[in-house]
């Protein structure tokens, strides 16, 4: 028996029972992947909305 800590949910789980090491579950593995893609690409934004949010400086 060897329990390890999931880096995503920080919960202890049995390593031999997990199918998504080093994560406790497939769900946590997807969360980790989502973090990387989210930081690299972010969410798609329309250019029109960005121009509307542009602050006016007088
Ligand atoms: Zn987890």
24 CA from centroid of ligand 1 (Å):
4
- Give the global pTM: 0.57
32 CA from centroid of ligand 1 (Å):
10
Q: 27, 30, 1, 23: which is closest to 14 by C-alpha?
A: 1
Model confidence at 2, pLDDT cuts 50, 70, 90, reads confident
E strand or H helix at 51, and its extent?
helix 47-52
40 CA from centroid of ligand 1 (Å):
22
Q: What is the pLDDT of residue 9?
A: 96
The predicted-structure confidence for 6-44, as pLDDT tens digits, reads as follows 999 999 999 999 999 999 999 999 999 888 776 555 555
pLDDT over 60 (residue 45):
no
């Amino acid at each position: 028996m060897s329990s390890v800590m999931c880096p995503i949910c920080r919960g202890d789980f049995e390593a031999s029972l997990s199918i998504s090491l080093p994560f406790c579950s497939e769900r946590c593995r997807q969360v980790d992947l989502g973090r990387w893609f989210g930081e690299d690409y972010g969410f798609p934004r329309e250019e029109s909305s960005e121009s509307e949010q542009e602050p006016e400086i007088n």
